[in-house]
Structure 1
Amino acid sequence: MPDHATPASAAHLSRAHVDSWLLSLGAEVGENPPSIEELRASASWRVTKPLRAVRGRERLSRVRSRRLPFRLPSLDASSDLESSREALHQRLRAIEPHLLPHQPSAHRPALSVEELLGELCARALADQSSEDSEHPRASLWLVIVAVSGCFPDHNLLLGLSRDISEATEREAVARILHHCGVWATRHGSAQRRISVVDDKIVAFVNLTGRFGFNSGVQRVTRETLARWYPSGEIELTVMTDDGTALRALGESEADRVIAWNQTKSDDTSELDDDDFALIVPWRTTLFLPEIVSGTNALTLGALARFTPNTCVALVYDSIPASTGFAVPRLENLRFSTYLSMLKYFDKGIAISASSAEEFQGFTAALEAQGLRGPEITSVLLPIEHIPETDGADEPSADELPLVLSVGSNEPRKNQLAVIYAAEVLWRRGLAFRLQIVGGRGDTGLTEIGEAARALRSLGRSIEVLRDVDESTLSRAYKSARFSVFVSLHEGYGLPVAESLAVGTPVVTTRYGSTAEIAEGGGCILVDPRDDDEIVEAIASLLTDDTLLGSLNEQIDARRDATWDDYAVAIRASVTGESGALA
């Protein structure tokens, strides 16, 4: 941003003009709106019908779940006007020190809403015309946040930027009010208050803060931030329900992130967005340990594109794009919006070297769009040894050895190949139990369950368990002679790490991230597309106690990173500063 001060001649609208705008929020936009018959006869009405239906259902669902309060128009216009003025003034004052390099406030009288609005809009107009600024529309982005109470998406910011490009200062203020009024009306954001954060890292923990489930991504987020947050360097945020802004967390939401335990697994946040200030990152770092999609990705993508923040994301895998046939179609669509956001980020920290290679390919492809894309590095996820769990005793001598296959119900997990290998060995006369454990996944994928039922009807010892808790999963790993995880494509391969963490050897894929984990020992590597290799690897671990003992010794000798190590490495990668966490 240029160092020159905003001219004292900045055009100010009258109080009556601003008050009229505030009163209009929530009313019809325009003096002569078309009739409903005219709207329904238009091409745009027909084209947007599916989108209106989807958005209508989403808003109704939010109202019913009390995540989007239903408000009737207020009968006290004067009270609404005064509270709206106060909220607008608070937001404008919050951004003032970041855009207007005035003398210290003690030597400067407080500006009215109209004066402050005029000077801030004049600054945004001047900055977007400056050739010296790396982010010429950053000031306009911040002004939109203050005036509308919403973070702008790409279309809003670009449209407004073009609309004011040849305008006088007074015209620019009026046009900014007009554009922002549409958003403030649509999202009911006139009463929001903001806090501009420029001295902490702003971490986005929307799923982790709002919900108690603890999948792979949420586990990484919680384990990392639970160790980093006490340093005082982190400001936790979630997205508002309408997807238009970051807000502070309530106490219960923060506990789900930094103090999670199994009792919180079914938690869902019921807090009202309006009870919390918006958090506006400015000249700081935005850190995304979660995957973002949909409207949230559009909002954060515009923030990354237009503001002077450094934006860093943990990136997990590119499976929805590169192995799209193996995931539900909705995941493909969500991932496309995620990539549309990520391309404006500064850095991506992959969870494995294999994952990093994939995202480096994505970054290289962005050259065709004239974009630099994020710098991609990697920090391998840790292998944290699981504490002993009651009920996980060694199997008795007369109990069949257990072969364990852990993985969600997805084709890429390749569990049908494991079932096939087991049936081949049962036919050879080997005696063992096969247990398949993991998430239920797409209910339309029934092959695993059907194959298991068919084999049980033949007297085979096969069991499928879905959506088990962590203690059950831990007991399964400890009870197994070995585990099998021959996935076709992974960003990391958590079942391999979990098995090694309890001292259980693994048959796993010889390429990608699983091979990276296996480098420390304790694994037999196979080609997951070669059924014969899988069969022989399982047979060898069922029949060769010497080989099994050797793998156990390798596991005992491993010196793997812990979550403490991982949190330190992530902080160093995000901040560029080494050293232990406070």
Structure 2
Amino acid sequence: MTTENVSDEIGALRAALGTRLEVVAPALGVDVSGLTPSEQLDRLARSVHESADPASAWLLFVGVTATFPSTADLAGLRRALLLATPATAMLAVLERTMDVQSRTHSGLRTIELVSDTVLVDVDFCAKYEHNTGIQRVVRHMVPEWSGDRAEGHRLVAWNQDSTGYRELTAEQVDRVLHWNDRRLPKKDDPVLTDADLRREHVLVPWRATLLVAEVPAFHVCDSLTSIARWSGTAVDLIGYDAIPLVSADSVPNAESERFAHYLTIVKHARRVYGISVSAADEFRGFVATLPSQGLSGPEVVDVTLATEVSPVARAAASVVTVDPEAEPVVLCVGSHEPRKNQDATLFAAELLHREGHRFRIVFVGGGSRLATMHFDKRVAKLSASGMKVESHRRLGDSELWGLFGVARFTVFVSLHEGFGLPVAESLALGVPVVTSDFGSLDEIARVGGCLQVDPRDDTAIVDAMRTLLTDDAEHARLLAEIAEQRPKSWRSYADEIWTAVTA
């Protein structure tokens, strides 16, 4: 890069810095009109130093760098303001922006303070085609706010280098709001060029409300903690479960480590909405430990998930024709990991097959190669021996709903769940379930339509599956119980969350 180009680059960076400082100055109550960027920075730094307000320091950091500070970033800035002159303290922060080789490429970014609407973090659902438990919740809930509440919230995702929030692209909006009725061609998110990264527009929550609708990625947990702790923004979370710690033996170590960092956000959140009484109790247990750290922690509220399925799912299940002469179908839906207990279900199916019962059992759910390899080998061996057993790792929604349409019953004998959508979806589609007799699964099953078992008792699982294969009267009784149920709607669930978030 020539000397002239470097000079132009620095001039552009200084101009962008001045523009950002003009955005944050009114929020900090400082008049910077008519000042150069250096003078603006000096005046703002002195004001923040005198106020000793951590929220003001947080916002000034964002104004200077166009990135969200980590807790360490902010602590360093506040200490520097006490140890040195404000101008000197800001120098290191300013250098981060002025460095044209900066890894974050943030120097030319613009920022916008968001205070009058609810920001909803839907990062994973926006970027990826994955659609299991958490994604199903978000893609059912958020579209319910698209009507009369559309002006009251903004959907955000993390930018490519995970240093700030940005608006969703049209494709990402489609992925979140129109999953069952996609309006744009499906395609991967583009990788931004260096030029695009450097000119991104960053949405900054400032004394606002932020709903984190998913479990965030590990690398943004610290920035979210800083937002919750220092920015003056009320951070609310949907609490799915505490499985990665409470049942750490059933998940990969990386999941437990990520969740431990997620709990740091929980410490400083305003409110956690447990998706079941069981899930909420897990978070209450954690919050009860926080006074030992001098923290009060968030309020934890039970907001039980909806139990209905979409019209698309119902239609896909209803168009399938059941052949009365074919063997009954047993369906087991769930990602493949130890706590889902599919090994026990497969064992029970093998034993029933050896007893001479005719049926076809179908497992549907993804999982890591390490988790699925042994199971899939067993399935292949049993299939080769004549047993009708299948395991599908990638199955579209319409195919999945079609399987519900032909299933005689489903099996979901998980050892630990935050809610248990496969049970709720099975009942909503009129299919009886064999499921566990404790925790969140008991909350769903106790309304009827289920045979409940101790999931650690292989014999109990075998007996329940045998009953639903052979006892037509018992099967009919469960169908009658299901017919009396009125599933909770996603509109109702979305309304409850919205009312709480905006209270």
TM-score with structure 1 setting the length: 0.80
Match in the other structure for 1:248? 167
Counterpart Cα distance in 2 of 1:501 and 1:81: 61
SS of residue matched to 2:316: coil
Contact 1:243 1:299 in 2 (8 A): no
Contact 1:410/1:442, CA 8 A, preserved across alignment: no
Separation in structure 2 between the aligned mates of residue 513 and residue 184 of structure 1, nearest angstrom: 52
Which of 126, 130, 135 is the equivalent residue of 1:213? 130
Q: Does 1:223 align with 2:150?
A: no
Structure 2 matches for 1:404-423, cutoff 5 A?
Answer: 404-423=331-350
Who is 1:195 aligned against? 112
The equivalent of 1:6 in structure 2 is none
Q: Distance in 1 between matches of 2:241 and 2:326?
A: 39
* Contact 1:150–1:183 (CA under 8 A) maintained in structure 2: no
CA apart distance, 1:401: 1.0
CA distance in structure 1 between the partners assigned to 2:119 and 2:496 by the alignment:
18
One-letter code aligned to 1:382: A
Residue matched to 1:57:
none
Q: Would you say the 8 A contact 2:287–2:298 is kept in 1?
A: yes
Aligned length: 490
- The match for 2:14 among 85, 91, 110 is 85
Is residue 2:196 matched to residue 1:267? no
Partner of 2:357: 430
Candidates 142, 161, 173, aligned match of 2:78: 161
The corresponding residue for 2:495 is: 568
Deviation at 1:255, TM superposition (A): 2.5
Q: Residue deviations 1:359-379, cap 9 Å, x none?
A: 111111222222222211121
Whether 2:233 is the aligned partner of 1:309: answer yes
Shift of 1:488: 0.5
* Structure 1 residue corresponding to 2:287, chosen from 360, 363, 367: 363
Structure 1 residues 199 and 350: CA distance shift in structure 2, 3 A: same
2:64–2:93 contact (8 Å) kept in structure 1 = no
Q: Which residue of 1 aligns with 2:379?
A: 452
Could you tell which deviates more after superposition, 419-428 or 142-151? 419-428
Q: Secondary structure of 1:431's match? A: coil
1:353 to 266, 269, 277: 277
In the alignment, is the contact (CA less than 8 A) between 1:247 and 1:273 conserved in 2? Answer: no
- Which stretch of structure 1 is more off in the superposition, 155-164 or 74-83? 74-83
Q: Which amino acid aligns with 2:89?
A: R
Kept in 2: contact 1:435–1:463 (CA 8 A): yes
Name stretches of at least 5 consecutive residues in structure 1 with no aligned partner.
Answer: 1-71, 103-107, 129-135, 577-582
- 1:523 pairs with 2:442: no
Matched position secondary structure for 1:203: strand
Residue type at the aligned position of 1:224: M
Q: Aligned equivalents of 1:109 and 1:262: distance in 2? A: 49
Which amino acid letter does the alignment assign opposite residue 9 of structure 2? D
Using the alignment, how far apart are the partners of 1:329 and 1:183 within structure 2? 36
The one-character-per-residue Cα deviations of 1:393-438 (angstroms, maximum 9, x if unpaired) are 3432321111111111111111111122122222333222222121
Change (3 A) 1:267 1:517: farther
User: What is the CA-CA distance between 1:538 and the residue it aligns to?
Assistant: 1.0
In the TM superposition, what whole-angstrom CA distance separates every residue of 1:38-59 from its partner, at most 9, and x where no partner exists?
xxxxxxxxxxxxxxxxxxxxxx
C-alpha distance in 2 between matches for 1:446 and 1:302? 40
3-state SS of paired residue (1:446): helix
How far 1:254 sits from its partner (Å)? 2.4
Q: 1:411 to 1:84 in 2, by over 3 A?
A: same
Q: In the alignment, is the contact (CA less than 8 A) between 2:317 and 2:401 conserved in 1?
A: no
Once the two structures are superposed, what CA deviation does each residue of 1:227-269 show, in whole Å capped at 9, x if it has no partner? 2144211122211222221122233322322233475796322
Instruction: Select which of 94, 97, 100 maps to 2:26.
Output: 97
- Measured on the aligned residues, the alpha-carbon RMSD in Å equals 2.1
Tell me: CA distance 1:392–1:425, structure 2 relative to 1, closer, same or farther (3 Å).
farther
- The whole-number CA distance in structure 2 between the counterparts of 1:390 and 1:572 is 33
TM-score for the superposition, normalised by structure 2: 0.92
Larger displacement relative to structure 2 (116-125 or 244-253):
244-253
Q: Which residue in 1 is equivalent to 2:436?
A: 509
Is 1:154–1:302's contact at 8 Å kept on the other side of the alignment?
A: yes
Is 1:499 matched up with 2:426? yes
Structure 2 unaligned residues grouped into runs of 5+: none
Equivalent AA in structure 1 for residue 346 of structure 2 = I
Rg larger in 1 or in 2? 1
> Counterparts of 1:537 and 1:189 in 2: how far apart (Å)?
59
Distance in 1 of aligned mates of 2:33 and 2:373: 71
Determine if contact 2:376/2:391 at 8 Å carries over to the other structure. Answer: yes
8 Å contact from structure 2 (residues 428, 487) kept in 1: no
Contact residue 328 and residue 442 of structure 1 kept, 8 A: no
Change (3 A) 1:512 1:251: same
Matching of residues 44-55 of structure 1 within 5 Å: none
* Alpha-carbon distance in 2 for matches of 1:244, 1:508: 42
Give the aligned partner of residue 60 of structure 2: 143
Once the 2 structures are TM-superposed, how far is the Cα of residue 508 of structure 1 from its aligned partner? 0.3
Matched, 1:374 2:298: yes
Match of 1:296 in 2: 220
Matches within 5 A, 1:323-334: 323-334=247-258
Alpha-carbon distance, 1:511 to partner: 0.7
Q: What code does the residue aligned with 2:293 have?
A: Q
**In the alignment, does 2:402 pair up with 1:475?**
yes
Q: Which moved more, 1:220-229 or 1:556-565?
A: 220-229
Instruction: Report how far residue 121 of structure 1 moved.
Output: 1.0
TM superposition shift of 1:183? 6.1
Aligned residue for 1:194, secondary structure, equals strand
Letter in 2 for 1:380: T
Q: In structure 2, what is the Cα distance between the partners aligned to 1:371 and 1:559?
A: 41
* Alignment partner, residue 322 of structure 1: 246
Kindly state the Cα deviation for residue 519 of structure 1 after the two structures are TM-superposed.
2.5
Could you list the per-position Cα deviations for residues 10-31 of structure 1 after superposition, in whole angstroms to 9, with x for gaps in the alignment? Answer: xxxxxxxxxxxxxxxxxxxxxx
Structure 1 distance, partners of 2:404, 2:279, is 26
